A and B are shown apart, each in its own frame.
Chain A
Amino acid sequence: MKIFDPHIHMTSRSTDDYEAMARAGILAIVEPAFWLGQPRTHVGSFVDYFNSLIGWERFRASQFGIRHFCTIGLNPKEANNPKLSNEVLAMLPRFLAKDGVVAVGEIGFDDQTDEEEACLLRQIELAAEFTLPILIHTPHRDKKRGTIRTIDVVRRAGFPEERVLIDHNNEETLPIVLDTKCWAGHTIYPNTKMDEQRMAALVKKYGTDRIIVNSAADWGISDPLKVPKTIAVMQEQGIPDDAIQTIVWDNPVAFFAQSGRLDVSDLEKRPAIDRTQKFETNSVLRGDQRATD
């Protein structure tokens, strides 16, 4: 089974996680830009963060045989400070132009304020300008209303729905998303959002069309192996392997390939690990030069 985790915040994770993910069959990942658990107060913090997503983190992943892509955007939690958000929006284009940036995201609503809506709309325009797909974060609180409002904004902007992935769905929002042409992501978390059993039940009910699952592992309680663990539960529940393969590989690959920046034929081969490589004179070896594939 080829596995693509289309939403995981590796910046917060360890090299042990990368090793375990590679062992479990994860070949490629997308790391969306999001908030880091506490608010940033200067635009420079975003510049450094985006640079680490397109540089250092991609290099770190490669040292464990995992292909790393990212999405760039201003998350809704930090969209509520107008001075900061305007500065961040102004410098997004130079990052959206880069290789390995496969969507604008995570963008969307958190508290569902007018400031959040303005930043969402502006970033939809940027996605249109750079012909990129969009990764939408749906809010934790008042999720159903927030999901409906997000779809309204996408439609008002005239953005093609097939280039929109709406994430963190649950039993109530999935049918709403499937009524559109948008794709539907599901975050499998240990305690909140969605779990493996509920996910398997949703697949049985709705099938595999435009359905995607991810771990969204980050700095909170989360698990970078939730996609492989969900595969195991779906298999136990009798969901056929080809259906599972559609969900954990074909769908995320097809969605992000719309960026024109995924080499699909290359993606299936695990990249060779060469740990003598360095990123700007920095390696993951910390002085131990023995490690090889």
Chain B
Amino acid sequence: MLTAVERVLADSLGPERWDGSHSPLLVAYATAPQHVGRDALFLSPADLDALRSAAPGIGFERWTRDDAARALLLIAIRKRGRTGDAFVSDALECFEQGDAREQQSWLRAIALWPEAKAFLPTAIDACRTNIIPVFEALACENPYPSEHFPDRNFNQMVLKAMFNSIALARILGLPARRNAELSRMARDYAAERTAAGRTVPSDIDLAIKE
């Protein structure tokens, strides 16, 4: 896969060809599946090392080949000197101009970047999506929310996961982030469901701090 990504880089983002404008990067980011496919990710040892060294704590279980290619593409432009504010600008453009799949790839990789904190408003806003796979890309198997979200936003995310029947065990770092307000919200949600004659999620206790 690294070879495929290097080929894209040489073709459209090579040192002589790329003037640093966003358009060729956005095209490369969007067309990743054309080069590597959309299958589930079976990592070669080299690819796994490349990702793990940059990303301790990320759960790659649900990643697809195009998710990984997009992450590697951004890793590669960093190696060419696009770091700090330049990287934040490049990466935000990839998210804001992305379709739902590109946004999923982007959110899955968000914890990889040293500039991750600069993406907090984008990540909080991404939780407002109604496209559940996009929400899951951030909320599930992802260390970012528990590391960066303030309590209020973290609590809303957990409640939204419950609301959408997403297993709370998929939220990394939840046990350590439980708090009194989240417990109150979860108990209120259980009461509201009961009053409406509906079932209460069986894993709701994972959100409640005893």
A interface residue numbers (CB < 8 A to B): 37-39, 41, 77, 80-81, 110-113, 140-145, 170-172, 194, 198, 220
Q: How far is it, in angstroms, between the C-alpha of A143 and the C-alpha of B191 when the chains are bound?
A: 11
CB-CB < 8 A to B191: which residues of A? 172
B200 to chain A, nearest CB (A): 14
Would you call the interface of chain B mostly helix, strand, loop, or mixed? helix
25 contacts between A and B (CB under 8 A): A37-B130, A38-B131, A39-B128, A80-B125, A80-B128, A111-B152, A112-B152, A112-B156, A113-B152, A141-B156, A141-B159, A141-B163, A141-B185, A141-B189, A142-B159, A142-B188, A144-B192, A170-B192, A171-B196, A172-B191, A172-B192, A172-B195, A194-B196, A198-B197, A220-B130
Complex CA distance for A111 and B152, rounded to whole angstroms = 9
Closest to A219 in B: B130
Structural contact, B129 and A81, CB atoms closer than 8 A = no
Chain B residues whose C-beta falls within 8 Å of the C-beta of A145 in the assembled complex: 185, 188
Contacts of B35 in A (CB 8 A): none
Q: Is B160 an interface residue when CB atoms closer than 8 A count as contact?
A: yes
Expressed in whole angstroms, the Cα–Cα distance for A270 and B188 within the complex equals 44
A110 in contact with B128 given A141-B160, A142-B159, A198-B197 (CB within 8 Å) = yes
Question: What distance in Å separates the Cβ of B16 from its nearest Cβ neighbour in chain A?
Answer: 33
Contacts of B196 in A (CB 8 A): 170-171, 194, 198
Would you call A170 and B195 a contact (CB within 8 A)?
yes
**CA gap between A113 and B153 in the complex, in Å:** 9
Question: 10 tightest CB-CB pairs across the interface, nearest first?
Answer: A171-B195, A141-B159, A111-B156, A142-B185, A172-B195, A77-B128, A172-B192, A37-B130, A144-B188, A141-B163
For residue B155, which residue of chain A has the nearest CB?
A142
Whether the Cβ atoms of B125 and A81 lie closer than 8 Å is yes
The answer, yes or no, to whether B19 is at the interface (CB within 8 Å) is: no
A172 to B193, CA, bound (A): 10
In the complex, how many angstroms separate the beta carbon of B121 from the nearest chain A beta carbon?
A: 8
Q: Determine how close the nearest CB of chain A comes to the CB of B138; give it in whole angstroms.
A: 15
Taken together as a complex, chains A and B put the C-alpha atoms of A111 and B151 apart, in Å, by 12
Residue of B nearest to A114 (CB): B152
CB nearest neighbor in A for B185 = A142
Q: A111 near B128 (CB under 8 angstroms)?
A: yes
Cβ of B61 within 8 Å of any chain A Cβ, yes or no, is no
Q: Which residues of A contact B195 (CB under 8 A)?
A: 170-172
Beta-carbon contacts under 8 Å, B113-141 to A? 124-125, 128-131
State whether the Cβ of B210 lies closer than 8 Å to any Cβ in chain A. Answer: no
Q: Which residues of A contact B163 (CB under 8 A)?
A: 140-141
List B contacts of A111 (CB < 8 A): 128, 152-153, 156
